[in-house]
Homo-oligomer: A and B are copies of this chain.
Amino acid sequence: MGSSNFLGGHSRKHKVTIVGSGNWGSTIAKIIAENTREHTDVFEENVQMWVYEEDVTIPKESKHYNESTADTPQKLTEVINKYHENVKYLPGVALPPNIVANPSLNDAVQNSTILIFNLPHQFIRKVCEGIRGEIMPFARGISCIKGVNVTDDGISLFSEWIGDDLGIYCGALSGANIASEIAQEKWSETTIAYDPPPMDSRAPTPRNASPNPDAAGEIPEIQHLDARGRKSKTKLTPLPIEYPPLDHNCFRMLFHRPYFHVQMVSDVAGVSLGGALKNIVALAAGFVDGRGWGDNAKAAIMRIGLMEMVKFGKEFFSETVRTGTFTESSAGVADLITSSSGGRNFRCARKAVEKGVSVQDVEREDLNGQKLQGTSTAHEVNSFLKARGLEAEYPLFTAVDGILRGEKKVDDIPALVSDT
C-alpha cells in the first residue's frame, strides 16, 4: 500500500514504542515492526519495546536452544536483540530485527510520538508514574489492555487512566485476538477505537524554532464522561505540523497486516467494555455447555449476553457508545464468539459444571492460584449494578454472579432470562 501520497511532505517521522513485552505485547510488536519497515516514509523503522528485565534461559521451544548453554541465565533484552525472539513469552516466533528491546522504560519512550501500551492492567499506574513528563507532550497512545475498571463508584477505561496520567490522548485496541494464533500469522481481525477531539490546526514542534508560536496555544480539551456522568478534562497538546497526521489512516497503516485486519472506529468505551463484559457471557456459555444443553442454548446465551452488553454500554456511556461496536465489530460479537468457543473462562465454567464443583475450585486446581478475568468482572459488575438497584435489568449478568456465589443454579438460567 503506498502511503506517501496522502502523508507526504512531512519532515519528521513517527517513532513507535511498545510498552510491554509479554505474549500479546511481543505479538503486537511483531506486527508493528513489520509495518514500520514497509512505511519508512511515515514511521521510523526501528521500534522500541520496553522489556521488564529478567534473567532467562533458552527453552526447548526456541530454535536457539542449545543443550550446552541451556542452564546459563542471560538477560532477556540481550536475548531478544541477539536472537530476535522473545524466548520467554513468545518462544518459537521470529521477531523482525527492527524491534529493539530496551530494559529502560524512560529511554524506550524518549522522542516517541506513538506509545502502545500492552501490559497487565495492574502495572498501568506505576508505568505511567515512571514516564510522566518524560514523553513527548503531543504523543498519542493506544491501549491494547483488555477490559475496564469497575468499582461501585463507576467504570473507568484503562485508556483513560493512561491518557489522564500522561496528559495525552489514548485510544484502545481490542478484538477476537488470541495472541498465539496471531503470532503464527493465522488470519484475524481487530478493532481500534481512536477518537481524539478535533484539532483545526497543529502546532509546530516545540523543539524547533517556530514561525508561528501562537499556534501552539490552541489547545483543545478532551472531555469524557465516566459512569457517573463526571467530566474529566485532559489538556491535549496538538501534534506539530512536521509530523504526518496521527489519524485513522495512520493507525491502520501501523497495525493492519495481511493476516491482521484492522477496523478503525471512534467508540473507545464500547471497544473497551466489549473486552470486559464478554468474559461474563463466556462463563454463562460454559455453564450451559457443561450442562449438555447443546448448540441452541449456547447461541441463545451468547445472544442474550450480547444484548446485555449493548444495554450496559448504552446505559452508562450513553454519549459515546454505539450499538454496532458490540453487534458488528471484532471487539464485540467476534471476541464474544471466540471467548465463548474455547476461551479460558468458558472452559473453566464448563468443567466446573461437568464435575459438579465450583468455578473457584477449578481456578484453584487448574490455574495455579490465578483468577479468571470473568469471575472478578462478574462480581464487580454485579456490585456496580446492585449499588444502582439495576440487577434485575441484567438477568444474565446477575445469574452468572449468582451461580458463581452458589446462590443460583445453571438450571435457573432459562427462567431468569425469560423476558429478555
Report A's interface with B, CB cutoff 8 A.
176-178, 181-182, 186-189, 258-259, 261, 288, 292-300, 302-304, 306-307, 310, 324, 327-330, 333-335, 337-338, 341-342, 413-415, 417-418, 420
Contacts and interface: CB of A to CB of B under 8 A. Distances in A.
A178 B296 contact: yes
Given A300-B334, A303-B330, A327-B327, 12 more contacts: A176-B300, A178-B294, A181-B293, A187-B300, A189-B299, A189-B303, A295-B338, A295-B342, A298-B341, A299-B333, A303-B329, A337-B337
Q: How many copies, total? A: 2
B330 A300 contact: yes
A343 to B, nearest CB: 8
Nearest to A417: B261
B334 A297 contact: no
A341 to B, nearest CB: 5
Given A414-B259, A418-B261, A187 B296 contact: yes
A186 B294 contact: yes
A187 B297 contact: yes
Given A259-B414, A414-B259, A415-B258, A299 B186 contact: no
30 contacts: A176-B296, A176-B299, A176-B303, A178-B295, A181-B293, A181-B297, A186-B292, A186-B294, A186-B296, A187-B288, A187-B297, A188-B294, A188-B300, A189-B303, A261-B417, A295-B338, A295-B342, A296-B338, A298-B341, A299-B333, A299-B337, A299-B338, A302-B337, A303-B328, A303-B329, A310-B328, A327-B327, A327-B333, A333-B333, A341-B341
A296 B259 CA distance: 11
Nearest to A292: B186
Contacts of A324: 327
Contact of A181 (B177, B181, B294, B307): B294
Contacts of A329: 303
Contacts of A187: 288, 293, 296-297, 300, 413-414
A354 to B, nearest CB: 16
Nearest to A295: B338
A334 B327 CA distance: 12
A294 B295 CA distance: 19
A189 B296 CA distance: 7
A288 B413 CA distance: 33
A294 B321 CA distance: 30
A302 B417 CA distance: 25
